[in-house]
Amino acid sequence: MPGRAPRPFVFAGATYRAPRLCAWDQFAALGLVDISLEDLREYASRGRRRGAMPPDVPSLLRSAIDALGPDKLAELFDLMLAGAERLDDGAWVPVWDPEAADTTFPDLGAARTAALVMQMLIASLGRYFSHRPFRFEPSTDGITYEALQLPNGYSWLLRPVERNMCLFESLLNGAIDLADIALMNDAISVAAENQSRAQAALDAHLKMNAGV
């Protein structure tokens, strides 16, 4: 499902345009290329200027796309190229034929299409790739438990919705993207940690006063 309106870009000498993906489809694309959120957090946490994309993200994406089997590659192309168009003789022509599961331009073979999709992924997910997660050592005081998690990282994606920081439909209509989801998750984690630390401080204070 498209997010923001299409905007032109150049690839291999031709002009294309494609809508940026909504947060839900960005998440789906990462799942298709089999790059886990933990992998991306590891890349994002490496020492670099805040707001800059890690330089090895393109190579990570390229390796992941190259490793895809035919079915997953076609699914990724379906997702990424839906709504993508190329300027041809002054007219915008769709790049992808979903029924034929193939491109509409003979010069776009599998390798070149994969490179196009990688460029589109970087453009769509640039803000997310540039997000540097907020790191801290969580406190271990109090009761701990193993929380249930939705499969495939969906608990992370839906956590801001569950905490009423955004609407579920915002994941689908392009109002927010994965960078926003990442920032909201950071804020939720910080709030939970502050609550835990405040409770630990209160418990320590009450215990000290009780011993007086």
Q: Which residues of 2-36 are buried (b: 16+ CB within 10 A; e: fewer)?
A: bbeeeeeeeeeeeebbbbbbbbbbbbbbbbbbebe
Confidence of residue 55 (pLDDT cuts 50, 70, 90): low
pLDDT mean over 169-193 = 94
Helix/strand number for the chain, H first, E second:
7, 6
What are the CA-CA distances from residue 99 to residues 74, 78, 103, 132, 183 (Å)? 11, 10, 10, 39, 38
Q: Which residues of 112-140 are buried (b: 16+ CB within 10 A; e: fewer)?
A: ebbbbbbbbbeebbebbbbbbbeeeeeee
- Show the tokens assigned to 192: 């939970």
Q: What is the mean pLDDT of residues 71-76?
A: 92
**Residue 52 above 70 pLDDT?**
no
pLDDT of 47 > 50? The answer is: no
Scan for tokens 């489809």, then name that residue. 25
Q: Would you say residue 40 has pLDDT above 90?
A: no
What average pLDDT score do residues 99-104 get? 93
Is it the case that residue 87 has pLDDT exceeding 50?
yes
What is the distance between the alpha carbons of residues 34 and 37, in angstroms, rounded to a whole number?
10
Mean pLDDT rounded to a whole number for the chain: 86
Beta carbons of 96 and 77 less than 8 angstroms apart: yes
List Cβ neighbours of 34 (8 Å cut-off, separation of 6 or more).
64, 67, 68, 72
CB 65 within 8 A of CB 114: yes
How far apart CA 74 and CA 68 sit, in angstroms, is 9
What is the structure's pLDDT at 41? 54
Residue with the two structure tokens 């190579």 = 59
